Structure formats: structure tokens, C-alpha cells
């Protein structure tokens, strides 16, 4: 330990004695670390952002509809021909389940919204049941949420998304005002809190109305979706299994029939994202790492030069009692100190670059402790890996020959 | 007996030819002796010094240092012997150029694994002993040749070794400084240390109490001063 500390001091001193050479030697390594750190912080930023936005609805929420996650057009078109889900399916799940805390149903379309002379084209219209779990991430900002009596009596009432509210009502309180959805009039009863953008798409540009009222004039049930949230002590898998059985019954499927509906969760969406992007990210970081190897070779080269230059010093140290291990450690520490110094600079600049990218392009970068540890850890490994051969050469020098070296 | 050498040979292979650098040496040196090892270049005195200093091992024969059979040791044990038993003084001083006098003298103690406060005390004592207590923070290039050699002597002494092994210690110094350095060795010897002086200069060798002359890898003469 004592020797290690002395070695560290020696290593720093030796590098400090050749400041410019040290820096130039390190440039490649620094670039490599910058590349890797930048990539990792951008990737981590994206992952974090996506998971935060996807999972915001509660990780255990799951969905049932006839399309599900279709990954190609063929699947999509095939599933589109399935029998629609409808309110009967929703009622079956709602009344028969024993594992769910909350069940909702939802249909969506687009329509033009109007308030007096203000007009918003192509806004989302969501027909929904009262107390739907979908609205968990949207706290009510003012007014009230949809209630059972609204759906029971097919009331023409609307809850506005934040963006819709601010665009239609730049001044004044929207509660109690009458707006038009398409040609129909609705009374505004509440405004939702702001949730912001997901991958550049606003999540606040819709209006929610009672699903029962909407089904009175909207008849395309292709995307009719049942939302379900398991009881706290029930696993998502268990609840999904129960919902499957209920729907098989309500849709008259025999045991050997394939299911004509899809059950999926936001977890599954997240997993899908990860499988789609994981490979790409690994390749990106791998390509970035090539520059680390190049930087490492430069470091090995300069360490070889350093060993040759200091042959006589090695001989002197050996004559004073340095063992092979001492010399090995000395040079190994020197190259690790070298790469760690480069790693530190690289991490700092890497974070700066990713912040810059983030600030100029809006790409969500994220600075994490794990990226810092990765940068420094990889640097230490590069230092050891590319330093071990020169250090081994130094340790093996014959003291007589080394002392005679000019 | 501090040093006991029997039938020592060292053979170098130069291509197909074998060079007998040492060709059967028998030599005993007692603790506290002051011995000059002399000979022209090529006589084998450097080879003998390397073996005595545990920097090299003989081809055959035995070398006992303080009752330890050094000739059969591996690299790391030799390093430990060099650290504890041998204090080298070289013709070219061989100080680390970027380290100050203090750190140069401290080096053997670091390799011995000694604690910092103990090292500090020992280094300061050694530098006082060679009259350089006011130069501890000077680097070699800020010191005169004589001062450098005295730093090297302090470094050789700092671990209290069994042997001070000086290889042409005055070879790079003018005659007045040489006399100073030789006086320093005399003082070291008088303090009870064993000093081995390797030289080809008669007047330097004259400082020693015993002179061993080598020629063609054998001992030609072994004489004591009257």
C-alpha cells in the first residue's frame, strides 16, 4: 500500500515532467472517452425520457384491443378484420373480474374544436368511461373530472386537455362555457393539468367526453380499447390472464380458438423500445470504443519509449533493491494515472458535448454517475491493458545491462 | 566471514565463442575490511563487482554473503539482498535526475517498506553524515560533482548495509574532490563498515587496507598494506 502510494506520486511526477508530451499522448484517449461518454449520455437521456413518458401511466396498467402492438402492415391489416371490442366486452370485464382495481374503456377520433371564433383543427377526441385509469397522470387543474352520472346519462360535457384549454380560452375561465366538437355542443366541466411533450408530440391536445355519448355518433370501434389496472396485491400477468378468460367467454371463443384480441402493457411497449434500440445503441458504443483502442495503442507506444528512455533509471532502482514487482507496478501505475487523467478530461468534455447537443437540438441528454464510472473505469482498464506489456518489459530488464545503458 | 567465494566462474557466450570473464576465483573478506579490487579493463573486476553486488549470478561456484548462499537466489531475493546488504556507489553517480537529494537517498528505504517518519529521520541522518544537510531539496543538476557523489554515498549508507560497494567512485571527479571522497570512504570504514573499492587507479587503491589484483579472470595477487 505504501509502495502503491509512492508509485502513484512517482507516476504523476513523471507525467508532469513531460506535460506537453503527456497531453499529446493522451489526446487520442481523451477523444475516445469523449465519444463514448457523449454517446452514453445521449442514449441514457433518450432511454430515461422514453421510459418516463411511456411508464408515466403506471407501470402496471394494461390495455386490450383488437390490434395490439402490430409490427408490420400484414399483421395490422389481418387484425383490423377481427371483430371489434365494444361496451359489452368492457361490461363483461368490469362485472366479472376479481383481480382489477380499475377498468376503463376508450375510443378516439379527430375533430375540429370551436369556441366562438376560435377554431382548432384535427384535435384528439377521446370518449372515455368515468374514473378511467388513463387519467392518472393528468391531475385535474380546474373544474372536475368525468363522473359516473355523466356517462350514465350521456351528458354532453367535456374535459379539456391543457393545450386545448389555453388555445381556445387564452383569457377567461373555460368552465361552464360551451364548445363545439365537430357540429355538437358540449359544456366544459374541467381542465386537465399539463403533461408536456413526448418525443416532440404534445400529449395535451385532446378533449375527453363520456364514451356513452360519443358512441351515439361515432361508430368506428376498430380501436376500442379496454384499460385495466390490477389490484395492488395482484401481478399484471395474473390480471391479464383473468381478463383473457373473461373476454374469451364474452366473445364466444371455444377453447381451441385463437384469441381475436390483444392484451399488452406499457411494460411491453417499453420492452419493445428496448429491443428495437438496444442493438443500435450497443453498436454505437462499440464503434465509439474503437477510438479508445486507438488511444490505448498510442499510450502503449509512449510507455515503450518511456521504458527505453529510463532504462538506466530502472537499473539504478533495481540496484537499490527494487523487485520486478516494484518496477512493474511503477510503470503500470504511470500508464493508469495517464489514462485516468485522460478519462477525467474526457468525461468532463463528453458531458459538455452532450449538454451542447442537448441545448442545440433538444435531444434529451442525461448525465449520470454510471457514465462517469464507465468513463473512468474504461480508462483504468485501457491503462492496465496497454500498460502491462511495457511495464513487464521494464520489470524484466537485466540490472547489469540496464545500468550500463547509455 | 562476511564474504566467502569459492571457485567462482562467469562465462559469457559471444556468438560461438565463450568468454571466461571469471575463471575460478576464491576470495574471503571479513566484516570491517577495506578492500580495493584492481585490474585493467577486461580483467574481470566489473563482473566480480556485479556478482558481489548481487546484480548478477555466477555460472558456477558459490558466493556466501553473511552466511546466505547468494549464488542460488532468484531475482526477487537478490533484490532484497541488494536492498538490505549492499550500498552501491557508481562512477557516474546514477542519481535520479528529476528527484532531489532527499528523495534519491530515500529510495532504498521506500523499497525496504519503511514508514515515512522513519525514512525522514534516516535520510536526514545520512545527509548530515556526508555533510549535505543544507542541500536536501537540491536536484542533481544543482549540485557539484563531489556533492552528487556524496548524495550517492548517503544513499548507499542509508539502509545500513553490510557492504559499501564503490565502482570507480572518483572516475568522474577532479583530483581534489577525489581526495574528499576518499576521505569520506575512510571515515565510513573507520565507523566499522566494510568497504569494497573497485578501481584501476593505483593512488585511489592506495587508500584501501587490502588490494586484490585481477588479471584475465583470476586473482593475480592479494596483498595487505603494512
Cα distance between residue B210 and residue A341, in whole Å: 56
- Can you give the pLDDT at residue A59? 56
Contact call for residues B158 and B108 (beta carbons, < 8 A):
yes
Q: Does B115 touch chain A (CB under 8 A)?
A: yes
> In B138-213, where does DSSP find H-type helix?
145-157, 175-190, 202-205
Query: Is the model's pLDDT at B226 over the cut of 60?
Result: no
Q: Do residue A321 and residue B83 have CB atoms under 8 angstroms apart?
A: yes
Report the share of chain A in percent with pLDDT over 90: 46
> What percent of chain A has a predicted confidence (pLDDT) above 70?
95
Give the nearest partner residue to A319 out of B76, B82, B84, using CB atoms.
Answer: B82
Of B50, B56, B80, the CB nearest to A321: B80
pLDDT mean across residues, chain B:
92
Q: In the predicted model, is pLDDT for residue A402 greater than 90?
A: yes
Q: Give me the percent of chain B exceeding a pLDDT of 90.
A: 74
- Name chain B contacts of A321, Cβ cutoff 8 Å: 79-80, 82-84, 108, 111-112, 159
Residues A403, B90: C-beta atoms closer than 8 Å: yes
Query: Do the chains contact at B113 and A322, CB–CB below 8 Å?
Result: no
The answer to whether A41 and A351 have CB atoms below 8 angstroms apart is yes
- Per DSSP, the three-state class of B84 is helix
Distance CA A190, CA A161 (A): 9
Nearest CA to A380 among A339, A350, A326, A345? A339
- Write down the number of H helices and E strands in chain B: 7, 10
Q: Taking Cα atoms as reference points, which of A215, A131, A124 lies closest to residue A162? A: A124
Q: B79 to chain A, minimum CA–CA distance in Å?
A: 5
Q: Is B43 exposed, middle or buried (0-12, 13-18, 19+ CB in 10 A)?
A: buried
pLDDT in tens, A244-255: 999 999 898 988
pLDDT at A398 over 90: yes
Query: From CA A52, how far away is CA A47, in angstroms rounded?
Result: 8
For residue A322, give how far its alpha carbon lies from the nearest alpha carbon of chain B (Å).
6
The answer for residues whose C-beta is within 8 angstroms of residue A255's C-beta and 6 or more apart is none
Which residue is closest to A5 within chain B, CA to CA? B110
A17–chain B Cβ distance below 8 A for any pair: yes
CA distance B3 to B28: 5
> What is the Cα–Cα distance from B83 to A373, expressed in whole angstroms?
39
Strand-pair partners of B167? B198
* Residues A112, A161: Cα–Cα separation, whole Å: 14
ipTM of the complex: 0.94
pLDDT in tens, B30-54: 999 999 999 988 899 989 999 999 9
Question: Chain B residue with minimal CA distance to A13?
Answer: B98
In the stretch 57-86 of chain B, residues with CB closer than 8 A to chain A read 75-76, 79-80, 82-84, 86
DSSP, residue by residue, A152-172: HTT--EEEE-HHHHHHH-SSS
| pLDDT given at position A393 | 95
Interchain proximity B55–A400, CB inside 8 Å: yes
How much is the mean pLDDT over chain A? 87
Alpha carbon of A240 to those of A63, A250, B80: distances in Å? 9, 15, 72
B55 vs A10 pLDDT, higher one: B55
For residue A320, the distance in angstroms to the closest alpha carbon of chain B comes to: 5
pLDDT for residue A245: 93
Phi-psi region of B94 (alpha: psi -120 to 50; beta: other; left: phi over 0): left
Domains present along chain B, CATH in parentheses: 32-57+75-224 (3.40.50.300)
Name which of A346, A389, A53, A351 is nearest A197 in CA terms.
A53
**Under an 8 A CB cutoff, do A316 and B94 touch?**
yes
Q: What is the pLDDT of residues A149-181, one digit of tens each?
A: 999 999 999 999 999 999 999 988 999 999 999
Question: What pLDDT is recorded for position A172?
Answer: 86
Residues of A in contact with B85 (CB under 8 A): none
Could you give the C-alpha distances from B183 to B51, B188, B207, in angstroms and in order?
26, 9, 9
* B113 contact A CB<8A: yes
Please check whether residue B94 touches A, CB under 8 A. Answer: yes
The whole-number pLDDT of residue A50 equals: 78
Q: Which of A321, A394, A397 best probes binding to B when mutated, by most B CB atoms within 10 angstroms?
A: A321
Report yes or no: A310 at the B interface, CB cutoff 8 Å. no
**Does the pLDDT at position A1 exceed 60?**
no
What's the pLDDT score for residue B52?
Answer: 93
pLDDT value for A285: 84
Residues of B in contact with A318 (CB under 8 A): 55, 79, 82
CA B199, CA B39: separation in Å to the nearest integer?
A: 7
Q: Is A12 on the interface with B (CB under 8 A)?
A: no
Residue of B50, B112, B116 with shortest CB distance to A400: B50
Between chain A and chain B, the number of residue pairs with CB atoms below 8 A apart is 65
The verdict on A120 touching B (C-beta cutoff 8 Å) is no
Q: Is the model more confident about A106 or about A51? A: A106
Mean pLDDT, to the nearest integer, of A192-214?
A: 82
At A199 the pLDDT is 59
- 3-class DSSP assignment, residue B207: coil
User: How far apart are alpha carbons A383 and A332 in whole angstroms?
Assistant: 7
Q: Give the phi and the psi of residue B225 in degrees, each rounded to 5.
A: -70, 145
C-alpha dihedral sign at B18, B20, B24, B30: negative
Greatest mean pLDDT range, A67-76, A282-291, A388-397? A388-397
Once rounded to an integer, what is the mean pLDDT over residues A121-147? 83
Distance of CA A284 to the CA centre of its chain: 16
Residue A323 has pLDDT above 90, yes or no: yes
Per-residue model confidence as pLDDT tens digits over B83-106: 999 999 999 999 998 889 999 999
- Which residues on chain B are in Cβ contact (under 8 Å) with A14? 98
Chain A residues lying within 8 Å of B53, measured CB to CB: 319
Q: Is B175 helix (H, G, I), strand (E, B) or coil?
A: helix
A22-44 average pLDDT score:
89
Interface check for A194 against chain B (CB to CB < 8 A): the answer is no
pLDDT digits 0-9 by tens, A278-305: 888 889 888 888 888 999 999 999 999 9
The C-alpha cell at B83 is 536492498
Instruction: Say if the Cβ atoms of A316 and B55 lie within 8 Å.
Output: no
| Alpha-carbon span A150 to B31, nearest angstrom | 110
State whether residue B141 sits within 8 Å of chain A by CB: no
Q: What is the DSSP letter of B151?
A: H
8 Å CB contact of A6 and B110: yes
Amino acid at each position: 500500500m505504501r509502495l502503491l502510494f509512492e508509485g502513484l506520486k512517482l507516476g504523476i511526477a513523471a507525467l508532469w515532467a513531460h506535460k506537453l508530451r503527456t497531453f499529446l499522448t493522451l489526446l487520442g484517449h481523451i477523444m475516445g472517452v469523449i465519444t463514448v461518454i457523449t454517446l452514453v449520455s445521449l442514449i441514457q437521456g433518450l432511454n430515461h425520457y422514453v421510459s418516463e413518458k411511456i411508464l408515466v401511466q403506471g407501470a402496471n396498467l394494461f390495455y386490450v384491443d383488437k390490434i395490439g402492438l402490430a409490427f408490420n402492415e400484414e399483421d395490422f391489416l389481418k387484425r383490423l378484420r377481427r371483430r371489434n371490442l365494444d361496451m359489452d366486452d368492457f361490461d363483461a370485464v368490469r362485472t366479472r373480474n376479481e383481480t382489477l382495481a380499475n377498468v376503463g374503456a376508450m375510443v378516439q377520433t379527430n375533430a375540429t374544436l370551436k369556441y366562438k371564433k376560435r377554431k382548432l383543427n384535427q384535435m384528439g377526441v377521446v370518449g372515455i368511461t368515468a374514473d378511467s385509469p388513463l387519467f392518472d397522470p393528468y391531475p385535474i387543474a380546474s373544474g372536475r373530472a368525468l363522473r359516473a352520472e355523466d356517462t350514465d346519462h350521456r351528458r354532453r360535457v367535456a374535459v379539456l386537455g391543457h393545450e386545448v384549454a389555453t388555445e381556445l380560452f387564452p383569457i377567461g375561465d373555460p368552465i361552464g362555457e360551451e364548445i363545439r366538437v365537430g357540429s355538437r355542443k358540449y359544456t366544459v366541466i374541467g381542465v386537465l393539468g399539463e403533461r408536456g411533450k413526448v418525443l416532440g408530440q404534445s400529449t395535451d391536445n385532446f378533449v375527453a367526453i363520456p364514451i356513452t355519448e360519443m358512441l351515439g355518433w361515432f361508430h368506428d370501434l376498430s380501436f376500442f380499447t379496454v384499460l385495466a389496472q390490477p389490484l395492488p396485491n395482484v401481478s399484471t400477468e395474473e390480471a391479464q390472464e383473468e381478463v383473457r378468460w373473461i373476454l374469451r367467454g364474452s366473445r364466444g371463443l371455444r377453447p381451441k380458438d385463437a384469441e381475436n384480441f390483444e392484451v399488452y402493457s406499457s411494460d411491453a411497449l417499453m420492452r419493445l423500445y428496448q429491443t428495437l434500440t438496444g442493438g443500435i445503441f450497443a453498436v454505437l458504443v462499440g464503434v465509439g470504443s474503437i477510438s479508445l483502442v486507438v488511444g490505448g495503442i498510442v499510450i502503449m507506444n509512449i510507455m515503450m519509449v518511456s521504458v527505453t528512455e529510463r532504462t538506466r533509471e530502472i537499473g539504478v532502482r533495481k540496484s537499490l533493491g527494487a523487485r520486478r514487482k516494484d518496477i512493474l507496478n511503477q510503470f503500470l501505475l504511470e500508464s493508469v494515472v495517464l489514462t485516468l487523467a485522460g478519462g477525467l478530461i474526457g468525461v468532463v468534455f463528453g458531458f459538455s458535448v452532450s449538454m451542447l447537443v442537448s441545448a442545440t437540438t433538444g435531444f434529451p441528454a442525461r448525465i449520470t454517475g454510471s457514465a462517469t464510472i464507465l468513463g473512468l473505469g474504461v480508462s483504468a482498464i485501457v491503462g492496465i491493458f496497454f500498460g502491462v506489456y511495457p511495464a513487464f518489459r521494464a520489470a524484466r530488464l537485466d540490472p547489469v545491462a540496464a545500468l550500463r545503458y547509455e | 566471514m562476511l564474504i566467502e567465494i569459492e571457485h567462482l566462474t562467469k562465462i559469457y557466450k559471444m556468438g560461438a565463442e565463450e568468454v571466461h570473464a571469471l575463471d575460478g576465483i576464491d576470495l574471503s573478506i571479513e566484516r570491517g575490511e577495506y578492500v580495493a579490487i584492481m585490474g585493467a579493463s577486461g580483467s574481470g573486476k566489473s563482473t566480480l563487482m556485479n556478482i558481489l553486488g548481487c546484480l548478477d549470478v555466477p555460472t558456477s561456484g558459490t558466493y556466501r554473503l553473511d552466511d546466505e548462499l547468494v549464488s542460488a537466489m532468484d531475482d526477487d531475493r537478490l533484490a532484497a539482498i541488494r536492498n538490505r546488504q549492499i550500498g552501491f556507489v557508481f562512477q557516474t553517480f546514477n542519481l535520479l535526475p528529476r528527484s532531489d537529494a532527499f528523495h534519491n537517498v530515500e529510495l532504498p528505504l521506500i523499497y525496504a517498506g519503511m514508514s515515512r517518519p522513519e525514512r525522514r529521520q534516516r535520510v536526514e541522518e545520512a545527509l548530515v553524515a556526508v555533510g549535505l544537510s543544507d542541500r536536501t531539496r537540491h536536484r542533481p543538476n544543482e549540485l557539484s560533482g563531489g556533492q552528487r557523489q556524496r548524495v550517492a554515498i548517503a544513499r548507499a549508507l542509508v539502509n545500513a548495509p553490510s557492504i559499501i560497494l564503490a565502482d570507480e567512485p572518483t572516475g568522474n571527479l577532479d583530483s581534489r574532490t577525489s581526495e574528499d571522497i576518499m576521505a569520506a570512504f575512510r571515515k565510513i570504514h573507520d565507523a566499522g563498515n566494510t568497504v569494497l573499492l573497485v578501481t584501476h587507479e593505483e593512488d585511489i587503491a592506495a587508500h584501501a587496507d587490502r588490494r586484490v589484483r585481477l588479471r584475465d579472470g583470476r586473482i593475480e595477487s592479494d596483498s595487505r598494506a603494512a
